[in-house]
Chain A
Amino acid sequence: MSPLNHSASVLQRHRIVRTVAVWAVGIATTSLLHAAVDFAKEVEPLLIKRCSECHGPDKQKGALRLDTRAAAMKSGESGKPALLPGKPDDSELIRRVTTSDPDDAMPPKGERLTDAEVAVLRQWIAEGAVWPEFDARRHWAFAPVVRPELPAVKRSGWARNEIDRFILARLEQEGLKPQAEADRPTLIRRLSLDLNGLPPTWDEVAEFVADKSPNAYERLVDRLLDSPYYGENMARGWLDLARYADSNGYQVDLARSIWPYREWVIEAFNRNMPFDRFTIEQLAGDLLPNPTLEQRIATGFNRNTKINDEGGGDDEEYRTKAVKDRVATVGTTWMGLTVMCAECHTHKYDPISHDEYYQLYAFFNSTSDSGNYSLNPTIEVPPPDVRRPLRELRDRLATTRVELVSTEKVWEAGQAAWERQALKSPWTVLTLTNVVSTGGSGYTNLADGSVLGTGVNPIYDTISFEADTPLTGITAVLLEVLPDPSLPKNGPGRWGQTGNFILDEFALMARPLFDGAPATNVFFAGATADWEQQYYRADHAVDRNPKTGWAIGPRFGQRHFLIADLQSPAGYRGGTRLQFKFEHYHGNSHAIGRFRVSVTTETDPLRRWAVSPEVAEVLALPAGQRNADQAKLVAAAYRSASPDIRRLERELFRLNQRETELASRKYTTPVLQERSEPRPTHVQVRGNFLEKGKEVRPGVPAVFPPLPKDVPPNRLALARWLVDPSHPLTARVTVNRYWERLFGTGLVKTSDDFGRQGETPANAALLDWMASEFIASGWDVKAMQKRLVMSAAYRQDSATDDLRQEKDFYNRLVSRGPRFRMDAEMIRDQALRVSGLLNPEVGGPSVYPVQVPNLWKELGFLRPEIGMDEWPVSEGSDLYRRSVYTFWRRVCTYPTLATFDAPSRDVCAARRPRTNTPLQALAGLNDPTFLEAARVFAQRILEQGGRAPADQMEFAFRTCLGRSPTRTEKTRLMDFLNRQLEGYTRDSAAARALVEVGAVPRPASVDIRALAAWMMVANVLLNLDETLTKG
């Protein structure tokens, strides 16, 4: 590779450059034998790394400074010159880094310099200590944007717009030819994915392929830019920058409502809000005259900072962290600068002093939000359109009610028989002894055989107790939890706010009473209860998983019971000692307050259904002597014995609750608000907020154009300054990001660092042309997208060959079309779209698509009272919304998105890595979302793909990839299909199990064996490299 490959300014003079290049290569070859030391590459980094902490701009120990030539030439306190050009042996610097005298040795900390590093310094001094003075203002990115001339090219017929001239000039210089234009199916897929984040439908492909009009491509581009999907797709990258998330961050990581900000971003892109206005409203919408609701919502950009919810945190510490996060985020997002490096000391490479950092900090230091606990200030926003989810909920309510009525009808018939056998309870109440609480609580035996907790109310607790029984063949244990006036809210639990409890584990051991044999475990097969709180099922108490448990919310203050079935009958002849244990791990005093335990040898679950003493009393009366209330009581007891009725009632309860919530909920979003009294800002010594240095006023780094003099120096002024046409960075950084989205890598590869440590642009003239065009267009975002995708460069085929691999391995010169793996959200959205599952609604609060259960609990989030212990899976078509609406919890990012490199959004992320890992493969193959998509895609193939399997295969392939399969591809897939058909025909149980996945109903008419076989095919199609890749 030529050493001038990345040199930008020479591009416009390419004829000269070619001569220079030949010369430079000549030098490079000979210099291998006797290379002169390169100050910027070899010496300066060494000085910065090992010397400048003590001898730099912030500190000059021994009165020595080694960051500019002029300073370094002076002697320090020792009086000996640090550098004597030409005379390394007389230079104090060399003596200090080589001496063995521990008092003089430099650097005093860390490893000594290596021999090679010393040799570099020696040679550099011997060669005259050449130290080209660096003028930050002349760094390419800090120089004003000047619109370059279009370069001359040979194959001018190829260029479709200005962008192509710049690209072609560069390719011709390298002796490369552009790749041919991609075929139409490829183009429409690329465009749809890039502009809308979704693949095209086959109809769209066919229409575009058939469209012979000269502007077919442009009309397609316009249609895609007009689609509401465009805003959702553009929002993804912006939300990474804005560190948008639905939770507070840090340890407790509570949920927050800030989705109206996300909606604002999507809308802004869809309405093509000019980028300057987009900037001003997000950074300072609240400071505009008479700000609208939308403009205030927009300031949510800087309320995406984290808030500490852990007890004992210092509010000011977390507030200042948030302010620093704002400085860093604004620096990266608009200026592509690593401003945060100047938090503790003057920036080592870029012209941002320690003081200037705190001048930027001052702009954000006077808002009224805090660092701990509270999201205030917030504003109320109009509720989202809940008509569809409400309708779905009410539909489900209606069908559930119908189902309940018909189930009850069938069930009622058995009541008389049940009453007869229920007269005699199969349960024997145990006398509980030796009740011990590790948390120190006391337990009192009551007359009815129950036990009541008193005294200390431990936050966590393990309660053990014993009982002896003469029974053998015990089949189940009945645990009754009982209300009591001494308990909070009447119990039956001890959680102060509601009377709830959470029984995480219920364990049992047994030993024979009359010989010395030790106790052995008694295992439970499962458990049922008369009432289960959502996510807190009876089974959870006996599943040997301490993170899950049984609870009874919101039906507090009344008796409930749980029946735990034994795996095999227990009890020894001659008597058995039963040793019980309750484990309460959830914290916040969720122990059971009063309970009674019984055992039975009955095997019929219906007979075992536990009847309360009140019901028992009524049952003793002949049916004719019961009053209406009593009759109801008995009927209710009987009803609750039906597992189906219990399930339906729980479902009805939940749906009703959700309906009420949905219909009446108020919605808020956090905003920025300036305090009436501005906070003074001090420089923080070494970035420590407790160590205050001198006071500073809001201001911008001196290397940039100044703020206007006639306006108050506040956030609004800063925002306007950022989008002033004279600002050298904002437009460059922004168009570079657009380029990166489409081509995979920015013209400046380090799209988050335009400073001296960043990469120089692969095509500086093109970058500047686009930047100036962007400004000239009035910061028209859609126009810039259009210009990019209209270029011939963008339309190239992505295939590569030996020459391109040799000269343009990473496609930085754009010698072919872009080809790279899609972002996480696109991969999921595509699967939904291809299968037909996608719910295309735009906007609204975050949703909770299917996620592996208990993930939050495994991380230790066991706080049901704040609703952050379990992922509350969405209902109906909310399961299939676009991924941009997925609830984003910072400490536990939605697993499949994280696996495909989505950031946690703790901080501003300008670029996502693009990895290719086995965990991604596992997610693509087995994540229930992708499995459901495969199953529903298979249904679609069978329903819409025609009758012959070959046609169906054609349909499947086209639907997924927007092209027809080649003959070889088709043959291979048909072989696979036939093998699966054969297999599942032999094993229809397997087929049934496979197609079970997912919430969407399966049409009764579909043959499950065919469905299973096609699901296997769909699973393969959804995992093809081509499917996962934009090419």
Chain B
Amino acid sequence: MNAMNPLSGPVLDSLRSSTRRRFLQHCGTGMGSLVLASLLDEKLFAAGNPAAVAQAVGTHFAPKAKNIIYLFQSGGPSHLDLFDHKPELNKRNGQAVPEELVKNIRLAQIGKNASLLGTRYKFAQYGKSGVWLSELMPHLQSIADDVCFVQGFHSEAFNHDPATLFMNTGAQLSGRPSMGSWFSYGLGSENKDLPAFVVLMTGVGQPLTNAAWGSGFLPTQHQGVALRSQGDPVLFVSNPPGMGAERRRQSLDALKDLNTLRLDVVKDPEIATRIAAYEMAYRMQTSVPDVMDISKEPLRYQEMYGTTPGRASFANNCLLARRLVERGVRFVQLYHRGWDHHGGPDGNLVFDLKTRCQETDQPAVALIRDLKERGLLDSTLVLWGGEFGRTPMMQGALSPDQIGRDHHPHGYTVWMAGGGIKPGMVYGRTDDFGFYAVENKVHVHDLHATILHLFGIDHLKLTYRFQGRDFRLTDIHGEVVRPILA
């Protein structure tokens, strides 16, 4: 093939480097240098002093975290039955909700005269922080000292679609880049054979829209790549039957040679980029199925996570998340559906809530333990949370299969571990009803600002110009929540 090839390696390389030079000249300021961070040696991370790291990597300041695993619990888990212990609410179980709590808000489905509902689950205190946790999360109890519970968390939207978009893109309408896309844009990937932003889905319930992991107005290469648990993990990554890797390689060699001939004639550097894209596609054909194959993991880990190889499960995806992070994927997001417990047989606070907890508690905790064992937890942020919490008021009826709560964005809990977050901490609180966040409140935009901060990015400076405006993940808001930084 080389004999055929009028443009040998060095010539191509020089063209590529001229393109890169152009890129630096023309992209100038902004995130240009940050985007290049991925080209640099990650060993810097382990050793150097913070300032040197920030400078070399090109972030705004020294990063604590390199990777993030976002365990998105879709539907809105009930903070009141899992994390937020409210004796007063339990005491007033069955009484009408105080009028002043509901007078200024809109509710999704229940009326403003709904009655208060205490939790039916036992709470106890765990770890050094003495956080109160419900009996439904026995595994989580065991790692209370690794986790920071943000209990004064609040959002704005009270319907699934806008609320999910808000948590993921900082805006309620679709069209903005998702958090993972901003990370891909800002920090790039550490693995040239895998995408920077990967999405995994399990469970049934409210539909999810591509916009939650879309790149919005950022270039398409930053969108989340959904790895599917059935069929091709990445669309079209498999060659058709009857081709095989060897013939694919031969055809890519022919393609490369012909493209190189064309490059010689028209000298458009875009051709060199296209050649590189096809080569990465070829590498993905091996690397993606390889990372997806969790059956290669030792039995010990299968048991620790509670996986069921060959079948889609949250546990499988947690183990997969660890494998992806090990390989340098920047942002791994797991969606697990089925937390929308309005009451009634399709979603209630007895059967369904318990099942969801059984599906998620063990694997999420296994993930944190596993990351810790491998020394990856310090540089990997794990975030657990839904698009909203649930109302202190009851929806449905009191029988076990009818009991539920409505959507509630005004105060709920998300938790984080690793990645430069202070471990073993409870931050903020809601009022005695678990209704409004009242102390050390953390808004969605604040969470976004804080996460970016952990990665060495100033949320005010990570911008992209679109329709005449410099857009940010945090819109025009956001404060870094410093007390929860380690």
Contacts and interface: CB of A to CB of B under 8 A. Distances in A.
A685 to B, nearest CB: 15
Contact of B250 (A800, A901, A976, A1029): A976
Contacts, number: 287
B351 interface: yes
A753 to B, nearest CB: 4
A976 B253 CA distance: 9
A860 B312 CA distance: 14
Contacts of A972: 4, 254, 257-258, 261
Interface stretch (A219-227, A255-263, A652-660, A1019-1027): A1019-1027
B277 A459 contact: no
A588 B208 CA distance: 18
A819 B266 contact: yes
A457 B344 CA distance: 10
A895 interface: yes
Interface string B262-278: 11011110110111011
Contacts of B205: 860
A753 B467 contact: yes
Interface in B436-486: 458, 460, 465, 467-469, 476, 479
B106 to A, nearest CB: 6
B468 A753 contact: yes
Contacts of A1024: 255, 258-259, 262
Interface string A910-939: 100101111111110111100100000000
Contact of A926 (B204, B239, B254, B465): B239
A544 B344 CA distance: 27
A799 B266 contact: yes
A801 B267 contact: yes
B460 A439 contact: no
A753 B259 CA distance: 36
B467 A338 contact: yes
A898 B225 CA distance: 12
Contacts of A1019: 251
Contact of A799 (B109, B241, B267): B267
A470 interface: no
A1005 interface: no
Interface string A520-560: 00000000000000000000000011110000000000000
A917 B161 contact: no
A798 interface: yes
B361 interface: no
A925 B284 CA distance: 13
Contact of A927 (B236, B266, B476): B236
Interface string A960-984: 0000001011011101100110010
Contacts of A969: 258, 261
B231 interface: yes
Interface in B160-180: 160-161, 173-175
Interface in B188-234: 195, 201, 204-211, 214, 219-221, 225-226, 228, 230-232, 234
A49 to B, nearest CB: 8
A907 interface: yes
Interface string B309-336: 0111000000000000000000000000
B242 A913 contact: no
Contact of A920 (B175, B242, B277, B401): B277
Nearest to B204: A585
A906 B266 contact: no
B280 to A, nearest CB: 4
B161 A250 contact: yes
Contacts of B262: 1024-1026
Interface stretch (A68-76, A832-840, A993-1001): A993-1001
Given A858-B228, A1026-B262, A918 B280 contact: yes
B22 interface: yes
Contact of A907 (B175, B250, B254): B175
Interface residues of A, number: 121
Report whether over half of chain A's contact residues are helix, strand or loop; otherwise say mixed: loop
Nearest to A913: B219
Contacts of A799: 265-267
A313 B159 contact: yes
A438 interface: yes
A760 to B, nearest CB: 13
Contacts of A899: 220, 235
B413 to A, nearest CB: 23
A807 to B, nearest CB: 13
Nearest to A821: B270
Contacts of A927: 235-236
A808 to B, nearest CB: 12
Contact of B251 (A109, A755, A1020): A1020
B26 A976 contact: no
B247 interface: yes
B351 A919 contact: no
Given A921-B278, A926-B239, A252 B207 contact: yes
Contact of A251 (B160, B250, B258): B160
Interface string A754-798: 010110000000000000000000000000000000000000001
Nearest to B218: A913
Given A438-B355, A918-B284, A1024-B259, A860 B161 contact: no
A852 B237 CA distance: 12
Nearest to A457: B345
Interface in B1-19: 4, 6, 18
> Among A892, A925, A995, A1012, which residue has the most Cβ atoms of chain B within 10 A?
A925
B375 interface: no
B266 A968 contact: no
Contacts of A158: none
A1016 interface: yes
Contacts of A311: 108-109
B244 interface: yes
A904 B234 CA distance: 20
A96 B455 CA distance: 30
A923 B211 CA distance: 21
Nearest to A317: B106
Given A922-B234, A926-B240, A1031 B206 contact: no
8 contacts: A438-B355, A755-B468, A819-B270, A904-B211, A968-B4, A972-B261, A989-B242, A1029-B270
Interface of A: 53, 109-111, 249-253, 308, 310-314, 321, 332, 338, 340-341, 349-350, 438-441, 456-461, 544-547, 585-587, 750, 752-753, 755, 757-758, 798-801, 805, 809-810, 819-821, 852-854, 858-862, 890-893, 895, 898-899, 901, 904, 906-907, 910, 913, 915-923, 925-928, 931, 966, 968-969, 971-973, 975-976, 979-980, 983, 989-997, 1012, 1016, 1019-1020, 1023-1026, 1028-1029, 1031
Ranked 3 nearest A-B pairs via Cβ: A459-B346, A994-B242, A993-B242
Interface of B: 4, 6, 18, 22, 26, 106, 108-109, 158-161, 173-175, 195, 201, 204-211, 214, 219-221, 225-226, 228, 230-232, 234-244, 247-248, 250-251, 253-255, 257-259, 261-263, 265-268, 270-271, 273-275, 277-278, 280-281, 284-285, 310-312, 337, 344-347, 351, 355, 400-401, 407, 458, 460, 465, 467-469, 476, 479
Given A458-B346, A858-B228, A1026-B259, 15 more contacts: A440-B345, A459-B347, A809-B22, A907-B174, A907-B175, A919-B234, A919-B235, A919-B281, A922-B234, A922-B237, A931-B240, A972-B254, A972-B261, A1020-B254, A1025-B259
